[in-house]
Every structure is written in structure tokens, then in C-alpha cells.
Structure 1
Amino acid sequence: MSRPGRADGGSLDAETLAFLTRPGLTRLWTQARARLERNGLQPTGTLRLQHLDAPEREALSLLLARPVTGPTATIRLPDLDTRLRASAAGRGLAATLEELGPPLTDRRAVRDAAAAERARVWSTAETEAESTSLSSQPWVARWLEDLRRGGTLARQDPHTATTVVVQAIQTLAVLFPATVADPTSVSWGRGELATRATGSAHGLDDGTLLSRLVLRGIALAHDTEFPTDAPARRALWRTASVTPDEVSSTVLTHGLRPTGGTWQEAALRERADHHRETHLTLRELRTLRPTMPSGTRVHVCENPRVVEAAADAGRTAPLVCTSGSATTVVLTLLDALAEAGCTFAYHGDFDWPGIALANRVTRRYAAEPWRLRAPDYEYLATRAQLHGVPHLPLTGPPVEAAWDPELAPTMNALGIALHEEAALDLLLEDLG
């Protein structure tokens, strides 16, 4: 490879390209590419190729214009760069590698640019905190430092990170204004606050990055722990005089007859007397503290159809429906009933999500299983087969039933999923 390089500096000619792409040089180009990308695309340093085979020794000897005879070759990248410029390649190492493969990436420059972008995020955040006077709050410096060290924003692209942290600062500045002695004297709806910060009423919904950042600030401001569940998050919002949406989520009930004298309890009794179901919101449950007869047994089901059928059949037993998920509003009602001295019996779907939900309810409230044991499942599966009901296959990972170690193996063996409606007639008998 001793011919002079091409004067026009264009693409490599076919003969030169064929030589440079021979298998014996593959390892050299791979290691040289990695080194240049780490070195800011500069041909500096030394490569050491070990365990060379005969084709590699031959190719390296021709390329370097010196004999390579042993199993190891040490190659100085400045010498390789000079050799390539004087050869038929007619260009340095970096240009040659780009001819042979994809464009080189200056990883050092990429890292530096990323670090500069991250620095701009925090510089913007600090400037925004100063301009809104939020920085005058004693907890803000720690809040920003926690965000910086926590890595949550570092995993976002710089534009998103900057947007969210600025929105969080603006939101917290509204909640903790420097010129108001008692910030809790001003109340906000969470949707209203979110619209002001983001333009969307859902910008501070549970699970959003912005809501997590704002809640961390509120927690620090009130010197309390960061909330780990929905009820605790709602409580923390209220400490900052922010009212979460407490009317869109409801819990379905039937037959509740509290004995207290409040209008809410009277309304529940009246609806129960007329066999009408009742949807209770979190807003209502905040003030409802039902007084129940001692030892009242409350049945809890998973599917609204059970409530509907109980109302149609004029059943009288108290009934609460989870609607397939133990949400905050469901747990709030069950907590209030437990505090009033009620006991619970639980029934749900015979499928794995149904067993998981049943585990949660039975463990939290020491609820008795309600026609939810292995013999109940076997009976319903057999009855469905006798009646020619099409099988619904049991899918997903098995879940052990906390109340009956035989239930999961029995369900696994039969492989049939049974929704709560399969036991509807039996449940209605119990609710009489």
C-alpha cells in the first residue's frame, strides 16, 4: 500500500477500499474507531492487538509497511494516521474510518454538551426561583438539591426537564407566596392550579412528573414525609390548601342503614328502604362518619351487577362494590365502616386479578371469604359445564389466595375463569 494518495480527496478507489476492508484489518479499525471516539476524534494513544492470526499479521504488515510476525502488535495511532495520509488512502485515520463505516461520534463532545444542557436546566431553575421569590423560602434550596441528586429530571430530555421544573417552581410560588403571611388563606382546586401552571386541568394529576415535583416541595415545606399512596397524596395537597377532585370517583353501595341523625345518614336509610343504590363521592365521605349497629356484617362484592341484582330483588343486607379495584374512595368508605365496628365478607371474580384484589381486601379488613373457597369454585365450574356455558380460559400468572391455600391449585387444575355473575343466585340468597 505504497502508492501516493488521490489528489482529488474523493472516495477511495476500489482497489484501496478492497485492501482496507479485508478481514485481517477488522479488529484494527474497530479498536481505532472506539479510541478516536473517546479521544475527541484525535489520533492519539496506542492500540495493542493480541492473538493475531496469519491473515491479520499479513494485512497489518502491508498496511504499516513493517513486518508483524508475533502474536501481538503495538500500533501508535499518530504513526497510523501519518501512514494513511502518505498511502493510497490519501487521508488521515479519522477520515479513513468514516469512509469505511458510519460517521464517527465525538463522545467527549457529546458528554460535554449533555453536561452543559443539564447545567442550563439547573441554572434556569435557580433563575426562575429567584424571579418568583420562591428562593426566599428556607426549604427551596434543599428541594432543588434533592431534585438534582435524585436523577428524576436527569432522565428527561433537557427541554422536558426545564419545562417541568419551571412549572413546578411557578406552582409552588403560587402556593407559598413570599408576600402573604398565611399562604393557606388562599384555596385552589387542583385542576384550576394545574391549568394556571400548564394550560391543562390534568397537569397535576396523580402520576405526572409535575405533581411529584410539587408534592416533594409541599412535603419539605411542611416538614413531612413524601406520600406513598393516594390518600396520603390527597391529604398533602390539602395541607397546601389545594383541593383534589373528590367528586368524579365514587363507590357504589346498597342497603347501608346508619343509625345517626345527620341528613347524610338519613338519606342513606331512605334510599335503602326504597331499594335504591347509592354512589358516594370522596367529598361526601370526608364528612360522613356512619354510626352502624354493633357488629353489622357488610358484604363486599367486585362487580356492579351484584348491586343491581340485589336492588332489583329487594335484598336488605348492606353491600359495598369495589367495581373491580380497591380505589381510594372504596377504601375510604370501608375504613369508615370498619371504624364504626362493622365486619366484612368478601366475594369477587375467580380469576387471578380477582384473587389479587380479594387478598388486598381480606388482609386489610380481616374480611371473611364469601363463597370464595376452593369447593365454591369447583361447584360453580361444574355447574357451568353442566349448563353448557362456554369456558373462559384462566390466563396470567397464578396468585395464591391468602384465605385458602387450596384455591389457586384448584383453579390452576381446571383452568377456568369464573366472573362473579356465575354465582349471582347464590350471592342473592345470602343477601336476603
Structure 2
Amino acid sequence: MSEPLAGIRVVDLSKILAGPYATMTLADLGADVIKVEHPEGGDPTRGWGPPFNGPDATYYLAANRSKRSVTLDLKSPHGQEAAHRLLATADVMVENFRPGSSLARAFAYDRLRSRHPHLVVLHISAFGDHGPLRDEPGYDMVAQAAAGLMSLTGEPEGAPVRAGSAIGDLAASLFGTIGVVAALLERATTGRGRYVSTSLYESLLALHINWATAYFATGERPERLGSAHPSLTPYQACRAADGYFVIAVGNDVQFRHLATALGHPHWADDPRFATNSARVTHRRLLEAHLHRVLVRHTVEHWCKLLRTAGVPVTAIRALDEVLTSEQTEALGIVRTVEHPAVGPLQQIACPVSFDGVRPPVRAAPPTLGQHSHHVLAELGYDEADVKRLLSGPPEAE
């Protein structure tokens, strides 16, 4: 297939997850992504294990496919000059330097703009470019706590819980990717690059959507509801005789189907349950009625019965069940690519298709410095210069 971002070069100076996931998404769409890593250890996620698969942790392998790895000491003058040579050939630079660090100063956008006016720069931070927290470092869980997500996640009487996935990192990555693609589209007209910035904090605020608008309307602090929905019910995990499953009733017709299938059609005519707003008001009472019925039979029984009745329902599947399911196989989203140290390596491919065709997984996540010689030679360095850059002693700032 013709890849939408073929011909676009991205220099990835980021590490951990938000930046690398953004650049991997751009690579999935066809961009040539060059990942610049420190010679000593590279991206910290290479060591974020167990589990490991080959020389690197699976965490690193999850966010770095289809890139080329170059090792440079960006704190040295020679390393910075090599980076600028690379940026001169690039369309996009992605970084998540710690605010106030020497690298943040060395690659500040005002400097980059004068030297590389064509460059689209994506900066991802924990808390954004302004405000009292702008200089604070932060990992995903810190952002989830600070941005309010953990206050909404977990059982009402239980402790706050972080989302199972690193949703702050991933949201910032995806919003940042949208910003980069928009800036590239604009540059096609203006010829000028852009400074694009986002943060874990801002992205999580954007994902609050209905929680935030409800607060704006009522001024009331929302409370944790476990798996339940603040504006719909029943729309949650329910207990059966042998485990839990999900019922997701989105309207009054579906609730009538549910009540009838459960042998209690009169529920749909009860003024406490007849409308969604009434059901939300009497949530606890309805949950108690449902519990007394649902614990009598198995998850399989209820899923089959309710699905036949037209009620949205599913078992809660574990990851091994999901990744080997018929649905996942039919979508062709699990791909295998050859890794230089591991051999066949499975990856979750790009979730977007174009004209029904999913972009290929072009290459495995690179080993540290795997492409250094080749990329530096592309930039005009001779063999002696390459050797000096890659093996010379670190220089002071």
C-alpha cells in the first residue's frame, strides 16, 4: 500500500512512552523515524523488565518498532552538531526533555526555529508549558493522580486506582500525533514549521469529557462508581454465579429487553426504572434487583440469553483470550516481524486501515545503536568521524 507519511523524516529525541509511542505511530504511517539514544543504556525502557525478550524489555519493544536507532551523546558539542545535521534533513522532531534541563535549553524551540525554520517540533511534558506545575517532572501515575483520573477510578468504598494502561502517556502521544499531522498539513501551504506542545495533564483533562461537563453544570464533585457509568444504568460489570460480565444498556428499549429476558418484564413499567434518568436516580435499588437474579446462572448463560434478546453484553476476557480470539484474528492486527536478536516477534499493528488495508509492520524495534553507522554516513560523516562520534569519550557540557 502507499503509506500516507512516506517521505517524512522524524527525529525522535524522546524516551519512555509518550514520545516514542507518537513516533512509532508516525512510523506505522510510513515516516522514516530515527531514534536518537544515549550510548550508555539508551532509552530507559530497554531496562524496564522483567519481562525481557532478547536484550530489551518488552516495554521498550511495545513502542519502538519501524525505527532506526542512532547513539549520540547529546550533551557533547559533537553529538549536538550531529543532531543538527540530522534535523536539517528532517520534517519533525519529537522530544520530552525534562523542563529546565541542559537538553531542554540546548534544543529550545527558539533556537531550532532560527536554524531549522521548516521543522515541526512536538514537545510532550507532564503538566504543560505554563502554570505552577510546568517545571515538575512526572510519570503517568503522577499525572493520573494530579489530573483527577484516579479520583474517578475504583470502587466507591475502595482506594483510588490508576487505569490499567498508561492512559496519560498514550493520550498525550495520540493528541501530539494529531498536532504533528495538522502542522505538516499547514506547512505544505506556508513552508514554515510549528511548535506543537501537549502534556499528560492536558490530555487527561480532555478525556474527562462528560465528567467535566457534569461538574461545570452542577458544581458537584463526582465520586467513584467502580465499573458503573455516571449517566447510564445498568452499564457496568455484573456478578454471575461463576464470575463477572458486562451489561451495557444504552436506552429504555434495551432495558425493556433486559427486564423481559431476566423474567421481570414489570421492571420496565416501574416508574423507578422506566426511564434512564429514573434508573440512575434509583441505581442502588436496581443493582440489588439485578444481583439477586444474575447470581443464579453462569456468565456463559447470561451472555447467550441477553445477546439473543438484543442487550449489549460480553464476558470480561483476559488478555490471553483477547489476543487469540477469532475477532482479533479476523482483523489481522497481530503481526509478526523478524527481530535481529529475538527472531520472530509479535506486535499489535497500527489500528487504522486505509482503503481496507492495514499499514505493515515494517521493521522490529531496533537494538541500541543498530543503525548508527548507516545513518551517520548518510549525513556525510566519514568512517573516522563515525568512529569518533560513537566511541569517543564523553565531553563536558
Determine if the TM-score, normalized by the shorter chain, exceeds 0.5: no
Structure number having the greater helix percentage: 1
Q: Which has the higher strand share?
A: 2
Alignment TM class, shorter chain as reference: under 0.3
Q: Which has the larger radius of gyration?
A: 1
Scaled by the length of structure 1, the TM-score of the pair is 0.21
TM-score w.r.t. the length of structure 2 is 0.23
